[in-house]
Amino acid sequence: MKIFFGFLFDYAILALINVGILWTLGWGFEVFPFLAILHFATSFQPINAQRRAGILFFGAFIRELSPGPQVVPVLSCRLVTATGLTEQRQFPAEPEGIDKTGSDVPAPGKVFPIRVTHSQKDASTDPLDKRLTTETTVVVRYRIQRGHFKEFYENIGSEEEAEKQMRDATESEIKIKFASKTVRETLLEQASINDILKTRLDGVVEGWGVDIVQVEIVEIGLNHDVNKSMSGVVKAEFDKRATIATAEAKKRQLILEGEGTADARKKFLTAEATGRQAFLEAEALGFEKLREVAGKDNGALVQSLKILEQGFAKGNTTFFDTNMILNAVKTVEEVIAKAKGGTS
């Protein structure tokens, strides 16, 4: 109904314009139909399915508009829109807009990350249980509900204002929760803190026609400049732990290497003894006879005998590995077995 009155109002304005032209120029009755047609044509507005849209009649929200062509009288009414997609915002700002230099004043166009000083546990030796200051950023994903754009427009007005209030609420809740926990506890409870932040924002946007899809802490970082005055003890503790861990790791590595070396050496000596036996047995049967028996595999036999002979002569050499010696033994023993079978 208000859109109908909007058209009546617009056409009344057009009629007055037409009369003004007539009185001024002495002609113009034929102008009104042209103006009416032009007005009607320009009053059609396409509404994208990915947008939320509403129509205002002299500033008052009439109704939300569905996707597709809609009629919005251009003089008395105004179209207002917002995105209907799921929006992602990082608080306090997008990565390129955050100043992490630790200076007293943020760089132009940038803001500081959310900085919170955590509590400490005096009895704990964990460095992350000391009193430290962290720099935090949070990602919030939200969406304006279809069919609730009127509530959104009347209660919050714009996406910019909605994001400002969500950012302020997020920072406030983080400072409260982080201040009561050590850094270690915060890291361990990050998932539950995400849920707490979402619950807080759900309460903030109630009545806005907005869904909070997800809230996620994406970074909890220690700023070296901020923690410089208190990081000496923590750094020393970290260094101490790192030294102990490195020493233990090295010790374990040496033990494993020793065990591995001893086992490999044992296998090599076994292979070497088997190779000696195979070579001596081949020598006793006669190399020429074995080459005849090998036939087309004569080349493999000669190569295998050469490997065993060099291994026998050099004893502890590592030039031939265990697998190479065992493969040579297998080849020689197969030919020896054929030779013995032929003589029996």
Task: Please give the residue that has the higher pLDDT: either 132 or 303.
Answer: 132
105 with 152, same domain: the answer is yes
Of the three residues 82, 113, 137, the one that is the final residue of a domain is 82
128 with 155, same domain: the answer is yes
The answer to whether residues 90 and 148 touch, using CB atoms and an 8 Å cutoff, is no
Of the three residues 20, 47, 82, the one that is the final residue of a domain is 82
Structural domain contains residue 250: no
Predicted TM-score (pTM) of this structure: 0.60
273 with 327, same domain: the answer is yes
Domain that holds residue 281: 257-343
Structural domain contains residue 337: yes
217 with 263, same domain: the answer is no
* Confidence at residue 318, expressed as pLDDT on a 0 to 100 scale: 44
Q: What is the CATH number of the domain that holds 153?
A: 3.30.479.30
Task: Please give the residue that has the higher pLDDT: either 206 or 290.
Answer: 206
Of the three residues 226, 242, 269, the one that is the final residue of a domain is 226
* Confidence at residue 75, expressed as pLDDT on a 0 to 100 scale: 81
68-109 confidence digits (pLDDT tens): 998 888 888 899 999 999 999 999 999 899 988 777 788 999
Structural domain contains residue 237: no
101 with 207, same domain: the answer is yes
Structural domain contains residue 252: no
58 with 133, same domain: the answer is no
The answer to whether residues 202 and 212 touch, using CB atoms and an 8 Å cutoff, is yes
Say if residue 92 is preceded by a cis peptide, omega within 30 of 0.
Answer: yes
Q: What's the total number of domains in the chain?
A: 3
> Can you give the three-state secondary structure of the chain, one letter per residue?
CHHHHHHHHHHHHHHHHHHHHHHHHCCCCCHHHHHHHHHHHHCEEEECCCEEEEEEECCEEEEEECCEEEECCCCCEEEEEEECCCEEEEECCCHHHECCCCCCCCCCCCECCEEEECCCCCCCCCHHHCCCEEEEEEEEEEEECCCCHHHHHHHCCCHHHHHHHHHHHHHHHHHHHHHCCCHHHHHHCHHHHHHHHHHHHHHHCCCCCEEEEEEEEEEEEECCCCCHHHHHHHHHHHHHHHHHHHHHHHHHHHHHHHHHHHHHHHHHHHHHHHHHHHHHHHHHHCHHHHHHHHHHHHHHHHHHHHHHHHHHHHCCCCCCCHHHHHHHHHHHHHHHHHHHHHHC
Structural domain contains residue 10: yes
- Cα 310 to Cα 328: distance, rounded to the nearest angstrom: 12
286 with 327, same domain: the answer is yes
Task: Please give the residue that has the higher pLDDT: either 201 or 318.
Answer: 201
- Cα 100 to Cα 135: distance, rounded to the nearest angstrom: 8
User: Which residue type does 130 have?
Assistant: K
Structural domain contains residue 58: yes
305-317 confidence digits (pLDDT tens): 777 777 655 444 4
316 with 222, same domain: the answer is no
150 with 101, same domain: the answer is yes
The answer to whether residues 242 and 292 touch, using CB atoms and an 8 Å cutoff, is no
* Confidence at residue 280, expressed as pLDDT on a 0 to 100 scale: 72
pLDDT band at 279 (very low <50, low <70, confident <90, very high): confident
266 with 166, same domain: the answer is no
Rounded mean pLDDT of 212-222?
90
User: Which residue type does 182 have?
Assistant: T
Among 72-76, 171-175, 298-302, name the most confident range.
171-175
Structural domain contains residue 180: yes
297 with 328, same domain: the answer is yes
Structural domain contains residue 239: no
pLDDT band at 331 (very low <50, low <70, confident <90, very high): confident
% pLDDT > 90, the chain: 35
91 with 188, same domain: the answer is yes
Q: Which of the residue ranges 134-148, 180-194, 213-227 would you say has the lowest mean pLDDT? A: 213-227
